């Protein structure tokens, strides 16, 4: 009896020396269906990844558009601060009145430009201290105001489309010393 190297007992029909073609075709079909399923799963994963990349890119572009003026906004805040300090320091002389009037007009123009750019002033006088928007530089004892409320704004804060550009620097109320 000769040994057939192609002999596979799983594909043999009893009493035959050659494999059953139907069994071989079924095995090939099962293998092809498994490959097809793997290819479909790989395609779905690739499509999902492409969608995630597209969404991430869209969020990045939206963020870039919303916050593109951030450096400009930070520079303009300093200009506004200087104008505001100059107005506060102006005297009551007749010439100073014209200076004050011009500075006020300039400050209004800067505020309008801020508004158009989405920059908002954080001026929390009288509000409760919020560490997300305020930076406490001092706590002053007082019985006239609630503990944790903002007594004085040393430097106003600013937001750009809801994102904090600069925290407001404030003095907050604390309970009076018991010895007083």
Q: What is the pLDDT of residues 131-148, one digit of tens each?
A: 999 999 999 999 899 999
pLDDT digits (tens, 9 = 90+) for 82-93: 778 777 777 655
Q: Which residue in this structure is represented by tokens 């944790």?
A: 148
Residues 146 and 175 placed together within one structural domain of the fold: yes
Clarify whether residues 57 and 93 are in a common domain. no
Find the domain containing 52 and state its range.
Answer: 19-67
Please check whether residue 48 lies inside any domain of the structure: yes
Q: What is the pTM (predicted TM-score) of this model?
A: 0.55
Helix (H) or strand (E) holding 163: strand 163-166
Which residues, other chains included, contact 40 with Cβ-Cβ below 8 Å and sequence gap of 6+? none
SS3 of 71, please? helix
């Amino acid at each position: 009896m000769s040994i057939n190297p192609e002999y596979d007992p799983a594909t043999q029909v009893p009493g035959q020396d050659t494999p059953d073609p139907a069994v071989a075709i079924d095995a090939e079909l099962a293998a092809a269906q498994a490959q097809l399923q793997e290819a479909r799963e790989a395609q779905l994963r690739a499509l999902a990844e492409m969608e995630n990349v597209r969404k991430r890119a869209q969020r990045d572009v939206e963020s870039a558009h919303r916050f593109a003026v951030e450096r400009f906004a930070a520079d303009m805040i300093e200009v506004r601060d200087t104008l505001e300090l100059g107005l506060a320091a102006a005297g009551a002389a007749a010439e100073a009145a014209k200076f004050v009037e011009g500075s006020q007009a300039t400050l209004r123009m800067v505020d309008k430009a801020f508004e158009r750019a989405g920059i908002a002033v954080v001026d929390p006088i009288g509000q409760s201290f919020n560490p997300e928007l305020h930076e406490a530089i001092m706590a002053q004892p007082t019985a006239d105001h609630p503990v944790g409320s903002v007594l004085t704004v040393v430097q106003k804060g600013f937001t750009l489309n809801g994102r904090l550009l600069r925290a407001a620097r404030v003095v907050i109320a604390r309970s009076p010393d018991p010895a007083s």
